[in-house]
Structure 1
């Protein structure tokens, strides 16, 4: 049974604090970058640290990026109709597992989950808008700006993407080939729109907008 706390409705920045209060002593589960995260029909995960890639597979075997779950964002089979649906740690992550019944029994927790699902909805709409562009270069620029907003970290040079995405992952997200993405990344570097740091992370320069 859930404990009851006299707390305000959680903002977008403190769902993790609410979870810590509600579930003191519950261990987080850690996954290394590249690990698949198990999904079940009656459980959701909440990201406490790191970034998780959400995706599906077409009949052809090609993978499609559905979104990224970052700090405080929930994901899991109860929150989607997509099948197959899979989750992979893009970076090292710490996650909290909740049963769907726990969410239903706590109005405060359910409202916190709803707020972060709204973040996911805005992200999904941005992805849908992105794939509508005919030019592959435009799709790539919009994807990188979306990633800048979702997982960007300010640096003296610009905004560094905190996760290291492969050219194949970027290609899957915008419906093109790895070779094309490699060519476009080189083109954007030559234009001064982005750079690659010594850890192979993409850094978008201050005027990298669309």
Structure 2
């Protein structure tokens, strides 16, 4: 089992940023961009704590509450009447949730569900949130950034589903997990968000069989291992080299 050196990891992350620009990430993070504004917003909202798999609001719900993620991760999903679900994006600290309905008055387009055991969120009603939009200086700029980020994520989802194979989408998902939630350790890089094969399949618009097959290949080649619900990246260069040599849809994967 190899060990990833910190200097190598930093350089590899810089290479990842060239291959996968931050604006293409399916992760919403705003806490680092506008901390003072977030403090003003959060001071007018109620703090609540939710356990994993708590539904904050559902697709089609009228007048959902508006949330800002303080700590933890929230999954944004879409589904159909048969119960099938697909992940659209992952919301981290600083992300706004439920604000679209408060702006246009229509039912929620998505379902939001907490993905970590103890998520801390700020909450308020859509009516109060609309007043905050007018009262807090700079808040409209924050909303524009939020809407732009979500539009880019949704456009990226359409592009990847249309032009990339399942294996490539899985590799890209690993790269973003490494960048957003990875931490160096003695094994290599620990992904600090536990997930199942089915959850990965939902995230990359594939199926559990395809994901399991590719994960088995990665384990066999010594790229990843799973310990106590968490995945560890043993060979971070594998993902970089995979994307770096990718010049077209030449994977042998099935979607």
Match of 2:181 in 1: 152
**RMSD of Structure 2 on Structure 1 (CA):** 2.9
Unaligned runs of 5+ residues in structure 2 are 1-29, 244-255
Unpaired segments ≥5 residues, structure 1: 1-10
Q: Aligned runs of 1:1-210 on 2, under 5 Å?
A: 13=32, 15-24=34-43, 26-38=45-57, 41=63, 43-76=65-98, 78=100, 85-91=110-116, 92-98=118-124, 99-133=129-163, 135-149=165-179, 151-156=180-185, 157-196=187-226, 198-204=227-233, 205-207=235-237, 208-209=239-240, 210=243
Tell me which protein shows more helix as a share of its residues.
2
TM-score of the two chains, using structure 2 as the length reference: 0.65
- Structure number with larger C-alpha Rg: 2
Tell me the TM-score normalized by structure 1: 0.77
Aligned length: 198
CA distance in 1, matches of 2:151, 2:228: 31
CA offset at residue 145 of structure 1? 1.9
After superposition, give the CA deviation of every residue in 1:43-82 in whole Å (9 maximum; x if it has no partner).
4211110100001112443111110101111121526978
Residue 17 of structure 1, CA deviation = 4.3
Cα distance, 1:177–1:42 mapped onto 2, change above 3 Å: closer
SS in structure 1 of the partner of residue 56 of structure 2: coil
Q: Is the 8 A contact 2:42 2:122 kept in 1?
A: no
Residues 22 and 90 of structure 1, relative CA distance in 2, 3 Å threshold: closer
